[in-house]
Amino acid sequence: MPYVNIKITNEGATAEQKATLIEGVTRLLQETLNKNPATTVVVIEEVPTDNWGIGGRSVTELRRETK
């Protein structure tokens, strides 16, 4: 039973986008590894940008600089 955990920042991914990710990852596992879609688990976790760091800085801080 495959378990896939996708972590993204909580910057407005829509329910439709998340559904597309779930379907796509499930299909990829089926096509690539012959895994049963009925037993494939996909979890999407949305992480606040204050809790996600890149290069020693939070994504919140990095986003402020690019605006």
For residue 67, name the pLDDT band (cuts at 50, 70, 90).
confident
Tokens of 6: 């996708």
In this prediction, what percent of the chain has a pLDDT beyond 70?
Answer: 100
Structural domains of the chain sorted by starting position, each given as residue range(s) with its CATH number in brackets: 3-66 (3.30.429.10)
Task: Give the catalytic positions in this structure.
Answer: 2
Entry pTM: 0.86
- CB-count burial class (<10 Å; 0-12, 13-18, 19+) for 38: exposed
